[in-house]
Structure 1
Amino acid sequence: MVNRSLAFTVSAVFSLTTFLSACGALPGYSLNTSRLQDNDPTPTATYPVRLISADVILQQNRPATAAPLPPARFADPAQYVYRVAPQDIIGITVWDHPELTTQQGQTLSAGGNTTQTVAGALAQPYTTALPGQADPFGQTVSPDGTIFFPFLNKVHVAGKTAGEIRDQLAAALSPYLKKPQVDVRVLAYRSQKVSVTGEVKAPGPLAMSDVPLTLVDAITRSGGTTADADLQRVRLTRNGKLYQLDADGVLDRGEIDQNVMLQAGDIVNVPDRTDSRVFVMGEVKTPLPVSMMKGRLTIADALTQAGGILDTDANARQIYVVRGAREKPESPDIYRLDLTQPDSLLLSTQFRLQPLDVVYVGTAGSVQFNRLVNQVLPTLQTIFYLKQLTR
């Protein structure tokens, strides 16, 4: 009789399980896998694990190979000169000849209804390029690189410095004027620009002027960065090639070589910190992605921001760091930190994480057993109650 009762109980449980698995009206999500074909073989590769020690940290802190810098047109900022190009507006002064001189105190046409005084243009070498083309009081360099000047007709000025244009005009006016004294200045820089995009407060083009423009200058003139900016990985596109620069190194560590001089056509992009995250997972109080601050983050920083490890569930011997998900996903580097050792706390504050690292805290063996019991216990209770009902 007992065997028949037990057989009936098992049969009832099996029937109930089959019914519930086939019922599509149950609450919650349930994926129908009958149309999926999963033939992926079970991975058999093994990955070597390096125990984090003082030697590993010393090897990690060795200076890395510097990334290539973009080729510079001028080796030193003191060699920089601005050369006039089409759409620039220049002002010409011929002493004692006001009829040949750009009138001072008059308005400089900016196109449309916007005007700017000549004095204002001279006092603001960093002003945004004026949008207008025609100007009655300044000489706009035409697309063919020339300007019109009395007595001289067309004068080619493109590709020349203000000093070279001055000497050229003085020599050309000598047959008409006695010892002409000429001065030339650029009133509006409109031909050459650098584009600044990304996490800056005022993105847009910046006009090149007679003052050298560096990477930090461009970011500053764009209003500075936002709170999400990643200054350690500023991207510079020059002549179709992409370079990565560390503006944070310039500001914090005085790495002047990273503060490159910009040139016309450059595109500077200040990215956000999406690619500078570390993922903390496993037996921590708050699994979350942690953003690196100024490119620096240690295991201790990451675990602290995640609320620390769980006292009752975590295996303090299994603090893993998985690295290389982007460069070599098939053979990542794996490190392990044993927090039960006396020097582990110091090591956790010295081991530097890299972008997109995964910090995983393992589970204690007893906790895994308890979780298995918690999964099986409801089924055992169901069998027990059904057996009691069938008596």
Structure 2
Amino acid sequence: MKNIAQTRLFTIAALLCAVALGGCAGGSSRIEMPDVSDQAGPAPAAPQTQLITEQLIAAEKLQREQRAHQALGHLVVADPPPYKIGPGDILSIVVWDHPELAGHGLVASSSSAEAGTTTTPPQGFVVDYEGKVQFPFAGALKLAGLTEEQARSLLTQRLARYIAQPNVTLRVQSYRSKRIYMDGEVRLPGLQAINDIPMTLLEALNRAGGLQPTADQSRIVLERAKKRYNLDLRDLVQKGVNPGAILLLNGDVVRVHSRDESKVFVSGEVVTPKALTMHNGRLSLNEALGESGGISPMTGDARQVFVVRKAAEGTRIFQLDARQKGALAMAEAFELHPKDLVYVAASPLANWHRGLSLLFPGALTQAVGVTTRP
């Protein structure tokens, strides 16, 4: 029986050598594959593979910093401007010593319908859609775009024609002209009215009840006028930028993403292929391989560790040769992006064994098992 198994093993090896080397002996044994290039058309060019080097890591870091700096340049406001009156706001106007100008009942009848409620609206003067307010003796005043102080000064000038030294108090009683929207992993998502307190990013998060435990602090997206800005709270603090200096404007939409949306997929010849959740937007290539059990010592090829990334300019592929000096340091410095795919290719010996198993299913295992029996 042992001689039969050895004979079978030698026969399999001879057949493999004949298939692999038959073309070199004269070409008669070569397996010809049908040419389907004319039928299917030319294959698309594969993305160019970039080797992970210290220069590449430095260039990637510089690009991230430049993108973050450009975003902050449009958003950070050191000295927020005062609130400006807008259409829909309700003003409280008092002219001292003239109670007949108190303005009771001058609220527009549609104010409650605009607010979407059936409660009695507060008494005051509503700024109409043209930004004007009707006031006795003063007529129609264009107050939209003015601060409270500017509006009070304008009304005082108009009333001075009919009242000697009018003493006017004007303030916004109900803020309804400017809003932002909070969404995602916050405790109280929804609309927030902008009032006399500057609506900064921190103010909006606090009004929304703070972040949920599942929130990703590195992926806070601000949408403004068809533009999207990605904000990283931890990165802002590390750079010395106060998130309270990021001023939100009317119509802004702030979405806090979940950590489950920021995953990295590790597959191929690793001990445990899995999907990994990033740690607040941070996960290095070394950490991804470590949490997956590392490269398989039996079948993995340490020279072929790939990172596949879908970018705006197309698919990008990075390769790391883990056998080189300093490879572990480069893997630790190479930061992954959400939805990256880390793939470890199989070694040539593993590919040879799998190819043999496809040609002769179970034959090699049976033959080796018989030869090793006592």
TM-score by length of 2: 0.69
Q: Matches of 1:378 and 1:216 in 2, distance apart? A: 63
For residue 157 of structure 2, the aligned residue among 171, 178, 187 is 171
Shift of 1:189: 0.3
SS at match of 1:265: coil
SS at match of 1:216: helix
Deviations 1:141-188 (A, max 9, x none): 233433344444554433322112212332333355443221111111
Aligned-residue CA RMSD (Å): 3.9
AA aligned to 2:92 is G
SS at match of 2:156: helix
AA aligned to 1:87 is G
AA aligned to 2:326 is D
Matched length: 320
In the alignment, is the contact (CA less than 8 A) between 2:304 and 2:319 conserved in 1? no
Shift of 1:301: 1.1
Structure 2 residue 345 is matched with structure 1 residue 359 = no
Residue in structure 1 matched with residue 277 of structure 2 by the alignment:
291
In the alignment, is the contact (CA less than 8 A) between 1:279 and 1:358 conserved in 2? yes
Could you tell me which runs of 5 or more consecutive residues in structure 2 were left unpaired when the two chains were aligned: 1-37, 105-110, 368-374
Deviations 1:261-281 (A, max 9, x none): 222222333344576432211
Structure 2 residue 91 is matched with structure 1 residue 90 = yes
Residue in structure 2 matched with residue 123 of structure 1 by the alignment:
none
Closer, same or farther in 2 for the Cα pair 1:132/1:176, shift >3 Å?
farther
AA aligned to 2:341 is V
AA aligned to 2:172 is V
Q: Matches of 2:341 and 2:84 in 1, distance apart? A: 51
Q: Matches of 2:137 and 2:157 in 1, distance apart? A: 12
In the alignment, is the contact (CA less than 8 A) between 1:278 and 1:357 conserved in 2? yes
Q: Matches of 1:341 and 1:130 in 2, distance apart? A: 67
Could you tell me which runs of 5 or more consecutive residues in structure 1 were left unpaired when the two chains were aligned: 1-37, 104-109, 113-128, 385-391
Structure 2 residue 294 is matched with structure 1 residue 308 = yes
In the alignment, is the contact (CA less than 8 A) between 1:215 and 1:261 conserved in 2? yes
For residue 346 of structure 1, the aligned residue among 329, 336, 341 is 329
TM-score by length of 1: 0.67
Within a 5 Å distance, the mapping from 1:241-390 to structure 2 comes to 241-248=226-233, 249-255=235-241, 260-272=246-258, 276-324=262-310, 327-329=313-315, 332-338=316-322, 340-341=323-324, 343-375=326-358, 378=361, 380=363
Q: Quick one: percent identity of the two aligned structures? A: 33
Shift of 1:253: 3.0
Closer, same or farther in 2 for the Cα pair 1:300/1:102, shift >3 Å?
farther
Q: Matches of 2:48 and 2:130 in 1, distance apart? A: 66
Q: Matches of 1:321 and 1:46 in 2, distance apart? A: 14
Shift of 1:373: 4.6
Q: Matches of 2:118 and 2:86 in 1, distance apart? A: 15
